[in-house]
C-alpha cells in the first residue's frame, strides 16, 4: 500500500486536501472520484511532503470515546449547536491528542465541512464506525440517536476489552515474578554460592549443580546474547506478522491455541455482531457495515473470512452463507444471523447474539484465569525447584561429610 497526497473538489463545491492510502495511483484516483469528486491534483507522498501523524498524549480509548458520545448526546438534546458542543467537550477533555482533534474538528465545521468529513481527517482518533454513523445521522437528522448508539457501542467494547485485560494482569505478574526470581538467582545467588563452595573445597558436585552453574555462568558472561536473542525474536515476529502468509499463520495459531483460541473466537463473534447491529441500526448498508467490521478485527483469519463475506454479500448472497462456509465463527452465530435474515429482524437478532457472546467472553475469561493460575505455578516450580536443589544438595553433602 502507498500513500498519496490529493486535492479534490467535492460535489458540494468544497475543496478538500489530505492523504489517501491505496495499492497504486489508479486505485487512489478511482477511490477519490467514486463519490463524484473532481481531482485537482494527486501525487505519491514521500518523507518530505506526506502528512505527519504526530500526536502528543495518550491514545484514545473506547471508554473515552463512549464518554465523548454520551456527553455529545446530552448536549445536543439540550438544544446546543454542534460547534458549541465541540468547544465545550474540547475544554473538558484531558487527553491532549483527543482535545486537539476535537478543537480542529470544531474549526473545520465552522468553515463549512460536515461533522463526519471533519472527523475523517483524524482516523487515528475517530474510528471508521464513528465517521460512517455520524454521516448517516447528519443525513437523517438524528444526531442525538446516533451518538446514543455510539456511546452504547463504545461502552460495551470498553467493557469487553477491560475483562480481557483484567484477566491477563495476574498471569503477567506471575510470569514477571518468575523471570525476576530466576534472574536474581542466576546472576547473584548461584555465583556467590559457587565461589563459597570453591573456597571450602567441597569435592565433586552433583550433576544438577554443575548444570545450573553452567547456565549461571552463561547468564553472567553472555547476558547481552540473551538480550539479542529476545530482540531478534521480537523483530522476526513483527516481520513475519507484516507478511500476508505470516499474518495468516499467526491468526490460525491464535485460533487453535488451547484456552486462548476459544476466547479469541468468542471475542470476535461479540465484536462482529455488536458492531453490525450498531451500524445497521443507523441505516448503513450491510456491505458497508461488513467492510467496517472487517477493519476493526485483529486476527487475519477473521479478516479474510469477513472480506469473503463482503464480496459475497455484494453479489447478492445472504451474510449467513459465507460466515458458515468460512468455518471461523461458531454455528450458533451463523444460524441466528440466518434466522434474522429470514424474519427481517437482523438488528434485534444481532443484539441478542452480541449479548449472549458478551456473557460467553466473560465465562471464557474466568475459565482461562482458573486454568492459567495452576499452570503458571507449576511452571514456576519446574524452573525454581531445580535451582534450589542445585544449591541445597552440595550443602547437605558437606554436612554429611563433616558429620
CA distance linking residue 99 with residue 116, whole number of Å: 17
Predicted pLDDT at 308: 92
Average pLDDT over residues 103-132: 88
Is residue 137 within 8 Å of residue 282, measured between CB atoms? yes
Predicted pLDDT at 55: 43
Predicted pLDDT at 286: 87
- The better pLDDT of the pair 202, 111 is held by 111
Predicted pLDDT at 306: 92
HSE-CB of 56 using CA atoms within 13 angstroms: 4
Contacts of 310 (CB under 8 A, 6+ apart): 287, 290, 291, 294
Is residue 180 within 8 Å of residue 380, measured between CB atoms? no
- The better pLDDT of the pair 363, 55 is held by 363
Predicted pLDDT at 244: 84
> Would the pLDDT of 14 be above 80?
no
Average pLDDT over residues 256-276: 87
Chain-centroid distance of CA 63 in Å reads 14
Average pLDDT over residues 222-247: 87
> Would the pLDDT of 126 be above 60?
yes
CA distance linking residue 200 with residue 128, whole number of Å: 70
Q: Considering the chain, what percentage of its residues have pLDDT values greater than 90?
A: 11
> Would the pLDDT of 6 be above 50?
yes
> Would the pLDDT of 311 be above 80?
yes
Average pLDDT over residues 164-190: 81
> Would the pLDDT of 53 be above 50?
no
Average pLDDT over residues 263-268: 88
Predicted pLDDT at 307: 92
Residues 275-296: tens digit of each pLDDT: 888 888 888 888 888 988 888 8
Residue 403 pLDDT class (50, 70, 90 cuts): low
Give the DSSP H or E segment for 214: helix 207-221
Predicted pLDDT at 48: 46
Cross-strand pairs, 18: 6
Question: pTM of the entire structure?
Answer: 0.68
Average pLDDT, the chain: 83
- The better pLDDT of the pair 282, 301 is held by 301
Predicted pLDDT at 57: 44
Which of 71-80, 139-148, 254-263, 393-402 is predicted with the least confidence, judged by mean pLDDT?
393-402
Chain-centroid distance of CA 28 in Å reads 27
Predicted pLDDT at 56: 42
Q: Return contacts of 204-211, CB within 8 angstroms, 24+ apart.
A: 205/394, 206/390, 206/393, 206/394, 206/397, 208/386, 208/389, 208/390, 208/393, 209/390, 209/391, 209/393, 209/394, 211/390
Average pLDDT over residues 241-254: 88
- The better pLDDT of the pair 32, 313 is held by 313
Strands 15-22 and 38-44: unpaired
**Distances from the Cα of 308 to the Cα of 286, 314, 348, 351, angstroms:** 14, 10, 24, 23
Residues 315-324: tens digit of each pLDDT: 989 999 999 9
Of 154, 49, 137, the closest CA to residue 98 belongs to 154
Average pLDDT over residues 252-267: 86
Predicted pLDDT at 301: 92
> Would the pLDDT of 131 be above 60?
yes
Strands 15-22 and 2-9: antiparallel
Q: Quick one: residue 283, left, alpha or beta (phi over 0 = left, psi -120 to 50 = alpha)?
A: left
Amino acid at each position: 500500500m502507498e500513500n498519496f497526497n490529493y486535492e479534490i473538489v467535492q460535489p458540494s463545491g468544497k475543496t478538500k486536501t489530505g492523504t489517501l492510502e491505496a495499492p497504486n495511483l489508479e486505485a487512489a484516483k478511482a477511490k477519490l472520484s467514486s463519490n463524484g469528486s473532481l481531482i485537482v491534483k494527486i501525487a505519491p507522498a514521500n518523507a518530505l511532503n506526506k502528512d505527519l501523524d504526530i500526536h502528543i498524549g495518550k491514545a484514545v480509548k473506547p471508554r473515552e470515546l463512549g464518554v465523548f458520545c454520551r456527553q455529545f448526546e446530552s448536549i445536543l438534546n439540550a438544544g446546543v449547536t454542534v460547534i458549541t458542543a465541540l468547544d465545550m467537550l474540547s475544554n473538558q477533555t484531558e487527553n491532549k491528542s483527543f482535545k486537539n482533534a476535537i478543537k480542529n474538528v470544531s474549526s473545520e465545521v465552522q468553515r463549512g465541512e460536515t461533522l463526519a468529513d471533519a472527523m475523517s481527517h483524524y482516523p487515528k482518533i475517530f474510528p471508521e464506525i464513528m465517521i460512517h454513523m455520524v454521516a448517516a445521522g447528519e443525513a437523517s437528522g438524528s444526531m442525538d440517536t446516533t451518538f446514543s448508539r455510539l456511546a452504547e457501542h463504545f461502552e460495551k467494547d470498553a467493557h469487553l476489552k477491560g475483562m480481557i485485560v483484567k484477566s491477563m494482569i495476574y498471569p503477567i505478574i506471575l510470569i514477571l515474578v518468575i523471570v525476576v526470581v530466576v534472574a536474581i538467582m542466576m546472576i547473584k545467588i548461584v555465583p556467590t554460592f559457587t565461589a563459597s563452595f570453591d573456597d571450602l573445597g567441597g569435592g565433586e558436585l552433583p550433576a544438577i549443580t554443575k548444570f545450573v552453574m553452567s547456565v549461571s555462568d552463561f547468564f553472567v558472561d553472555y547476558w547481552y546474547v540473551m538480550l539479542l536473542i529476545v530482540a531478534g525474536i521480537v523483530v522476526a515476529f513483527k516481520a513475519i506478522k507484516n507478511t500476508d502468509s505470516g499474518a495468516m499463520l499467526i491468526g490460525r495459531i491464535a485460533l487453535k491455541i488451547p484456552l486462548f483460541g476459544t476466547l479469541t473466537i468468542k471475542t470476535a463473534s461479540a465484536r462482529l455482531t455488536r458492531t453490525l447491529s450498531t451500524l445497521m441500526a443507523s441505516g448503513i448498508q450491510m456491505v458497508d457495515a461488513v467492510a467496517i467490521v472487517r477493519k476493526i478485527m485483529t486476527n487475519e483469519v477473521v479478516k479474510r473470512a469477513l472480506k469473503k463475506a463482503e464480496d459475497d454479500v455484494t453479489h447478492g448472497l445472504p451474510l449467513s452463507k459465507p460466515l458458515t462456509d468460512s468455518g471461523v465463527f461458531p454455528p450458533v452465530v451463523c444460524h441466528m444471523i440466518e434466522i434474522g435474515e429470514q424474519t427481517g429482524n437482523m438488528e434485534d437478532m444481532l443484539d441478542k447474539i452480541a449479548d449472549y457472546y458478551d456473557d460467553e467472553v466473560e465465562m471464557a475469561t474466568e475459565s482461562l484465569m482458573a486454568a492459567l493460575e495452576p499452570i503458571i505455578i507449576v511452571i514456576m516450580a519446574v524452573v525454581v525447584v531445580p535451582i534450589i536443589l542445585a544449591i541445597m544438595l552440595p550443602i547437605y553433602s558437606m554436612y554429611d561429610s563433616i558429620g
